[in-house]
Amino acid sequence: MATAIAPAQVQRGEQSWTYIYIFLGFALTIEAAVIQMFNLDAVSNLILYIPVVALTWYLFLHDGWFHNRLTGWKNSREEKWRSPSFFQ
């Protein structure tokens, strides 16, 4: 039995990308604050921050699985907050 696999490409809407960029900004800000708490010299902070930023940048902007997780999380929170039982 042969199975055919159709190529699929998901395109994100403008609203999804807006939320991804907002989450990226929060993540980078939190990472910078946490790295500053290590009380290292400026060069060590930069050496530590560059790979962290590179990984975060890749996850938020190029990893489809991570996009789906972020979008799913956002949608589940919106549904929960908009449900009538949330305010009871």
Q: How confident is the model at residue 6 (pLDDT cuts 50, 70, 90)?
A: low
Best CA proximity match to 57, nearest among 69, 68, 66:
66
Written as six digits, the tokens of 65 are 């699985």
- Residues in CB range of 27: below 8 A, 6 or more apart: 56, 60
Give me the pLDDT at residue 3, please. 66
Domain definitions of the chain by residue range: 24-77
Can you say how many angstroms the Cα of residue 44 is from the centroid of all Cα atoms in its chain?
25
Q: What is the pLDDT of residues 21-78, one digit of tens each?
A: 999 999 999 999 999 999 899 999 999 999 999 999 999 999 989 988 988 888 888 8
Contact between 76 and 63 under an 8 Å Cβ cutoff? The reply is no
Give me the pLDDT at residue 43, please. 94
Q: What is the pTM of this model?
A: 0.71
Residue that has been written with the tokens 């042969």 in this structure: 2
